[in-house]
Structure 1
């Protein structure tokens, strides 16, 4: 568990340094970004994913949803994000025995940066809470979670967007002898500015 936390901290630090040292691509100043606007943005949408590694041995796929708030800092290109959601991982049938689904509530915060118009890179970290600890035989009800992501924002109108992102998400172990729950996920959300 200690090595995964160290890896997560290093990853988040590298993303932060890359975000803060990258120069803006725009050559003309403007009061509002054509993609993101200049204020707080909320987004809500469904999420699907595919477990990878040893986590894929027990679970087929996941379905869930999340709500996210983006707060601009420094410029219209750098945002602080706060995200909360729900994920249900559907258990596989292994030799006629089907285990219980794994149900998680991830709560994360991080940074989102637009290196070029509409395209972003995002890194988040936080905690994932297991809602059915007893059913899945877990030792812990919470774990550390981190999620690097890339995505694209499609503008619909002056303050409405579709935010589509692909991420890798990893949770530390819920059991002392188990493996971490890693998956690739897709989030397609409706976003609107406040």
Structure 2
């Protein structure tokens, strides 16, 4: 009787370990939608309002807390009315872009991570060309929910910088 008990226990233990290992292998890649808000900083704050954006992001886990990320989306900053150096009321132009980012992500503890992304913000509508993106961030990922805070700089003929909050869900 004891042999049967130990055989069944060993089989169940091996089965549970195998299922958990295969599940972990499946979760090495995740993809999902996100929304974000951008709060302009510096001179960018004088000409543009808070930006909004949405897109899709992906994570690939590599080794020991290290992973790579990528995302593509759309971002819009409305122009706002401001007073120029001569005292005239001027309407700032809106800014629309399609940011494409890739980066590295390192988990400090199981749910807390730091990330550094780079890429290109491809301007659309009134603006043309692309800007280089540099965006360090810190975030929390709990189950599929991913929330991060960042500072993002778009560099083309000067810098456009903003603080951002990003929330997404990864499947």
Q: TM-score, normalised by structure 2?
A: 0.78
RMSD (Å), alpha carbons: 2.2
Q: Is the 8 A contact 2:102 2:117 kept in 1?
A: yes
Are residues 94 and 32 of structure 1, via their aligned partners in 2, closer, same or farther at CA, if it must alter by over 3 Å? farther
Deviation at 1:32, TM superposition (A): 8.2
2:136 to 148, 152, 158: 148
Query: How many Å separate the matches in 2 of 1:33 and 1:53?
Result: 46
Q: Is the 8 A contact 2:32 2:168 kept in 1?
A: yes
User: Which ranges of structure 1 fall in alignment gaps of 5 or more residues?
Assistant: 1-29, 156-160
Query: What is the aligned partner in structure 2 of residue 164 from structure 1?
Result: 147
Counting matched residue pairs gives: 147
Larger radius of gyration: 2
Query: What is the aligned partner in structure 2 of residue 21 from structure 1?
Result: none
User: Which ranges of structure 2 fall in alignment gaps of 5 or more residues?
Assistant: 1-19, 84-88
Query: How many Å separate the matches in 2 of 1:33 and 1:49?
Result: 36
Show the 5 A alignment for 1:1-194.
31=21, 38-75=27-64, 77-95=65-83, 96-132=89-125, 135-136=126-127, 141-155=129-143, 161-173=144-156, 175=157, 179-192=158-171
Q: Residue 116 of structure 1 aligns to a residue in which SS? A: coil
Runs of 4+ in 1 over 4 A off after TM superposition: 30-34
Query: How many Å separate the matches in 2 of 1:114 and 1:38?
Result: 15
